[in-house]
């Protein structure tokens, strides 16, 4: 058996864990003990799984990958946001932990942001991940391990997961959905506390609609017309705004779940009141919540919208009856946006750990 064929514990649903345990000659109930170590304790060392027999622990060490990620960097921002850079045998990936409430000492909500791909093929004009191009897909086990690693490292239960790190989840659909189910069933995070974010891959939205899950689907719009969206989110040439809206209507009809619309505000590019009005017309009567995202500056021509224009954009939407919030900027000083930390790390620039 080669390295790559070893099963990855964090990627195995209950039935496959049980099959593994039985293949090792152990009674089936040990699968529940093993699941507790992996999914509840975040333990990645078989030798530390103290209620398993020594022979089984040795078998595990020889036959499975308990963990596959190596922590390369950790940075913490003043607001408590922690950014993690994990090494994997073929690449690096980023994850972010965001405490809401009173910080990591007593948060009522802790949100993990995880990566679904190393790099991304969509190539949005303002996104550091997109600039780096696509390297490879992340497995379901690696997605779940990002959550478990951060949970163990921070010592706080993660209550929400957003798939908004590097990568386009719907261009890695099967692994992403497998991770959704593992996080829900094995880690115990409620479906309503999981959010998938897509740049608008229409076949993925339609496929997910048919699964009728109660998770939240966020669509990254960023422009109210096709000409501008073609430029900012190039996948728009394949799935233009009219098709995207139709898929969103279908999603709402099948799941009954209100969608989120994400809109990164770029100075003088997509942040004018007439563009807010055009966005409002495009939304029409579709029940959505608009998340306005302050742009986290990357090595591009784009700049962050001034706060007054952000406020005005929000007011235009609200006045037209579309609930809109401005996302709190998190960890900007630690390269909070997806792809930024990795880019800097791979360029050999300093990314010291600890408080930024």
Q: How far is the CB of 114 from ligand SAH (least distance, A)?
A: 10
d(CA 182, CA 174): 12
Q: Vertex 99, ends 356 and 263: CA angle to 5°?
A: 90
Give the x-and-dash track for 204-243 against ligand SAH (CB under 6 A).
----------------x-----------------------
Give the x-and-dash track for 91-120 against ligand SF4 (CB under 6 A).
-----------------------------x
Q: Is 20 in the site for ligand SAH (CB under 6 A)?
A: no
Q: Is 123 in the site for ligand SF4 (CB under 6 A)?
A: yes
Q: Is 296 in the site for ligand SAH (CB under 6 A)?
A: yes
Whichever of 147 and 232 has its CB closer to ligand SF4, that residue is 232
State yes or no: is 338 an active-site residue: yes
Position among 44, 126, 134, 173 found at the interface with ligand SAH (CB under 6 A): 126
Give the β-pairing of 91-101 and 354-355: unpaired
Position among 73, 81, 95, 199 found at the interface with ligand SF4 (CB under 6 A): 199
Task: Select from 210, 256, 263 the least CA-distant residue to 241.
Answer: 263
Q: Is 335 in the site for ligand SF4 (CB under 6 A)?
A: no
State yes or no: is 352 an active-site residue: no
Whichever of 300 and 312 has its CB closer to ligand SF4, that residue is 300
123 binds, among ligand SF4, ligand SAH, none (CB under 5 to 8 A by kind): ligand SF4
Structure tokens at 111: 């949100």
Contact 110, 157 (CB under 8 A): yes
Catalytic residue, candidates 18, 94, 145, 262: 94
Measured over the CA atoms of residue 11, residue 14, residue 15 and residue 18, the dihedral's sign is positive
How far, in Å, are 41, 150, 326, 347 from residue 262 at the CA level? 34, 25, 10, 29
Q: Vertex 252, ends 124 and 271: CA angle to 5°?
A: 40
Structure tokens at 349: 């620039």
Backbone angles phi, psi at 121, to 5 degrees: -85, -10
Q: How many Cα atoms are found within 13 Å in the side-chain-facing hemisphere of 179?
A: 29
Task: Select from 217, 211, 236 the least CA-distant residue to 225.
Answer: 236
Q: How far is the CB of 200 from ligand SAH (least distance, A)?
A: 8
d(CA 207, CA 347): 38
Whichever of 184 and 298 has its CB closer to ligand SAH, that residue is 298
Q: Is 122 in the site for ligand SF4 (CB under 6 A)?
A: yes
Measured over the CA atoms of residue 113, residue 117, residue 122 and residue 123, the dihedral's sign is positive
- Give how far the C-alpha of residue 288 lies from the chain's centroid of Cα atoms, to the nearest Å: 20
Whichever of 40 and 309 has its CB closer to ligand SAH, that residue is 309
Backbone angles phi, psi at 218, to 5 degrees: -110, 135
Residues touching ligand SAH: how many (CB under 6 A)? 18
Give the x-and-dash track for 128-147 against ligand SF4 (CB under 6 A).
-xx-----------------
Q: Is 198 in the site for ligand SAH (CB under 6 A)?
A: yes
Contact 169, 210 (CB under 8 A): no
Q: How far is the CB of 75 from ligand SAH (least distance, A)?
A: 16
Residues that are catalytic:
94, 338
Binding site for ligand SAH (CB under 6 A): 120, 124, 126-127, 164, 168, 197-199, 220, 262, 264, 293, 295-296, 298, 337-338
Binding site for ligand SF4 (CB under 6 A): 120, 122-124, 127, 129-130, 166-168, 199, 338
């Amino acid at each position: 058996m080669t390295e790559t064929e070893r099963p990855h514990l964090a990627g195995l649903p209950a039935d496959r864990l049980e099959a593994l345990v039985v293949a090792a000659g152990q009674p089936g109930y040990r699968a529940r003990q093993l699941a507790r170590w992996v999914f509840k304790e975040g333990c990645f060392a078989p030798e530390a799984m103290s209620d398993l027999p020594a022979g089984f622990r040795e078998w595990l060490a020889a036959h499975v990958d308990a963990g596959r990620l190596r922590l390369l960097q950790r940075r913490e921002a003043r607001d408590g946001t922690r950014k993690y850079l994990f090494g994997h045998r073929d690449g690096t990936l980023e994850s972010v932990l965001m405490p809401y409430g009173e910080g990591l000492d007593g948060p009522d909500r802790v949100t993990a942001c995880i990566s679904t791909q190393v790099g991304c093929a969509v190539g949005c004009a303002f996104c550091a991940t997109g600039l780096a191009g696509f390297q490879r897909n992340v497995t379901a086990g690696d997605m779940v391990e990002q959550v478990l690693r951060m949970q163990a490292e921070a010592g706080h239960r993660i209550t929400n997961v957003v798939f908004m790190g590097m990568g386009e989840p719907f261009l890695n659909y099967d692994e992403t959905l497998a991770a959704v189910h593992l996080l829900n069933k094995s880690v115990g995070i409620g479906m309503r506390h999981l959010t998938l974010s897509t740049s608008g891959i229409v076949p993925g939205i339609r496929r997910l609609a048919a699964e009728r899950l109660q998770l939240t689907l966020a669509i990254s719009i960023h422009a109210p017309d096709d000409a501008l969206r073609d430029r900012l989110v190039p996948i728009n040439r394949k799935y233009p705004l009219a098709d995207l809206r139709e898929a969103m209507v279908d999603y709402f009809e099948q799941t009954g779940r209100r969608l989120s619309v994400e809109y990164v505000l770029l100075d003088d590019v997509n942040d004018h009141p007439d563009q807010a009005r055009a966005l409002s017309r495009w939304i029409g009567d579709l029940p959505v919540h608009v998340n306005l995202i302050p742009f986290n500056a990357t090595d591009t021509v784009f700049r962050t919208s001034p706060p007054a224009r952000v406020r005005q954009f929000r007011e235009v939407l609200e006045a037209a009856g579309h609930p809109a919030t401005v996302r709190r900027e998190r960890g900007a000083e630690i390269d909070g946006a997806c792809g930024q930390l990795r880019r800097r790390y791979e360029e050999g620039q300093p990314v010291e750990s600890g408080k930024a």
